[in-house]
Structure 1
């Protein structure tokens, strides 16, 4: 049986080991926090937005933090003078905080819908007339889907994010030669694309598939970029990416909500489920005076398909809320 002196020595050793362990953990925590802060600042420094993103859009958003399924309206715009009044890309991204499932719906910009307060027109015209709020109302009016947040993203930010997480480019199988109105020339074949080239690939639509082909490529690109984030290198660059993209985004989400959502979605290894509206065999493409060629769809058929895909039917419990005061202000 150990003597009294030996027990004291053992106790001092245990106390010393615990103190050293806590010191090492504290140093590691400080190092990680410092690394993240430096990376975030470097991201901010390398961002070179062509103009300031607007931040005064009206948007009828919830005042409480959402738990469960919530929908984010993702809008892609080009701030370099080509098209800054109508959004080039319209998507609904859904994230479920309970299951970590992510779904992505592409709304074809030529979809012919009723715009509240205006006549029927292409859905991207809603953004031209009333920004994200009128687009939110248009989606609710036509498809009975609630949108909780919006994020307006300058395409230039996408380019810099890709170059940050994949300095050697992202591998893509380019189906055909692409050059018209995308700012780059892409030759067919498997190759690594940098940010500018990948954006051009995602935006190309001057072929027989038109916008349908572009939507397919956009969803493919998003999945590829997400895969890059799940690599060890991609994870290490997440703070820098957040700093890089911040000047290129206008959103009604609080900073901590947006950063948490980005982290949860990008680092989740599960695949993103995708859908496009209008669905197959539910539309035709007439031409109307003053509007041009449109995608005129069976609204009821597409409404039901969209609600089923997003799990927003009448019998489902989609979300709960809690007081936003629990989250730090941005």
Structure 2
């Protein structure tokens, strides 16, 4: 009799575990289906509005020597049929073991060696040989490798901001801005939609020029990161990635983006550390063949980059 009761309890426990596993499986399958639906909704929302080049580029990068995943982020200034130079050059690092997020902005007028093309401004590497040549240029000059690349159509930035922050992103605009940005910004603390925020990060027609623009880009990246707390749940992430996907040419797959994005959004602290290259005191303005360039101390900047990434 006792053995029968024991067997009955055993069978009951087994059925209970089967039910739990079935429920977990259904929840998992439902989450995947919902995420895929949201992703496709985002893609459909943006499809037809993107002008990004769809060519798949060869890219032979690797993880850096510190175990981080580095992404070469490029915004291009293509006009008509001319080959595009890089308008914005950044390396974003995600370090899964340390849980850190870092961003390096490279001034586009730095005068460096471009493999196979002699010396030129660093942004010319994109026009000469696509993201792979720019990767090689960073590797040769700074011993910095990148595993992935993302070429971004700035219009995608507008759509992403408007989808993620319907009320806009709070920014303290330091001065009146209007020249060559398509909008007019008045000074003061305010909420900017995607179009006006893009104008803010692209403005450079003042005394500090490109240095001010890079500083504003990093400021906005930090603000957007901190204000992601306004998202109540990570369930919105698949749609956000879907919204921006048509505007990005990248060798990252959707799974990579979801993994990094989920990890970032789910953290209590979303601090993004930033660095500008060249760092202060390591460059001077020069004119070479009639062009204004930044002549830099390579060794000092290389050391600053590696100190920044290794911490």
Q: TM-score range by the shorter chain?
A: 0.7 to 0.9
Structure 2 residue aligned with 1:129:
128
Name the residue aligned to 2:220.
Answer: 221
Note the alpha carbon deviations across 1:182-215, whole angstroms, 9 max, x for none: 1111111111111111111111111112111111
Deviation at 1:106, TM superposition (A): 0.3
Contact 1:92/1:105 (CA < 8 Å) preserved in 2? yes
What TM-score comes out, normalization by structure 1 length? 0.82
Q: What is the Cα-based RMSD across aligned positions, in Å?
A: 3.0
Greater CA deviation, 8-17 or 79-88?
A: 8-17
What pairs with 1:31-50 in structure 2 (closer than 5 Å)? Answer: 31-48=30-47, 49-50=49-50
> What runs of 5+ residues in structure 2 fail to find an aligned partner?
none
Q: Which moved more, 1:219-228 or 1:270-279?
A: 219-228
Q: Is the 8 A contact 2:78 2:84 kept in 1?
A: no
Instruction: Report the secondary structure of 1:294's partner residue.
Output: strand
Deviation at 1:33, TM superposition (A): 2.9
Provide, for residues 168-192 of structure 1, a one-character-per-residue CA deviation record: whole Å limited to 9, x for no partner: 1111111111111111111111111
Q: CA deviation at 1:152?
A: 1.1
TM superposition shift of 1:10: 8.2
Aligned residues of 1:186 and 1:197 also touching (Cα < 8 A): yes
Q: 1:257 corresponds to which residue? A: 256
Deviation at 1:123, TM superposition (A): 0.7
Question: Corresponding residue for 1:307?
Answer: 306
Aligned mates of 1:248, 1:93 — CA distance in 2: 18
Question: SS of the counterpart of 1:237?
Answer: helix
Contact preservation (8 Å) 1:229, 1:267: no
Give 1:245's aligned residue: 244
Note closer, same or farther for the CA distance 1:79–1:26 as it changes in structure 2 (3 Å cut): farther
Question: C-alpha distance in 1, partners of 2:31/2:77?
Answer: 35
Alignment of 1:37-116 (within 5 A): 37-48=36-47, 49-62=49-62, 68-77=67-76, 85-116=84-115
CA contact (8 A) 1:228 1:234 kept: no
* Aligned twin of 1:273: 273
The alignment partner of 1:192 has SS state of strand
Q: Distance in 2 between matches of 1:235 and 1:227?
A: 15
Instruction: Give the alignment's TM-score, normalised by structure 2.
Output: 0.87
Q: 1:52 to 1:210 in 2, by over 3 A?
A: closer
Residues of 2 paired with 1:100 and 1:83: CA distance?
40
Match of 1:159 in 2: 158
Give yes or no for the alignment of 1:288 onto 2:292.
no
